[in-house]
Amino acid sequence: MLNGFIHAESKRQKELDALIEPRHMDAIENSVSLLGVCDTLSLLACRAPEITPPDAAVHPLIQGGLKVKTANTDDLEISPWPFSKDSVELRMPGLVLPGEYFADEKELAKAVPMAEPIVFSSVLRPISGDAETEDTRDRTVDSA
């Protein structure tokens, strides 16, 4: 299932690459980078075990220039803080698959219909005491 998706996407991207003008490549690469950062943040917000650091450890999103820290079971702290509000609540629909490991795509495909729907929620807050966060918040307040 996943390999089929990857193959189809690779083919589609090659077809699209031929249509892209070279002067647009930087904008496209920046968009892809931003999408990667957002995808990683969503995985962290849903507590994906493969990438979620232990509580109080910082996950560096090097590509996006962000630091992310798990604060407790529902919160993520990030720096620098890009929002004008003190916190942002995220709610994401998802599925919890039975089991933790699937030997192959067939096992995964069997588990999907048995998945339980869930709404993941997480609150983003600035990393307290982080110099970058404080500097960004000061500039946000000054420009308001």
State mean pLDDT over 79-94.
Answer: 89
State mean pLDDT over 81-93.
Answer: 90
pTM of the model: 0.58
Distance from C-alpha of 109 to C-alpha of 35, rounded to nearest angstrom: 26
Q: Which amino acid is at 94?
A: G
Tell me the C-alpha to C-alpha distance, in Å, between residue 54 and each of 57, 59, 69, 73. 6, 9, 9, 11
Percentage of residues of the chain with pLDDT beyond 90:
9
pLDDT at 36 over 80: yes
139 against 40, higher pLDDT:
40
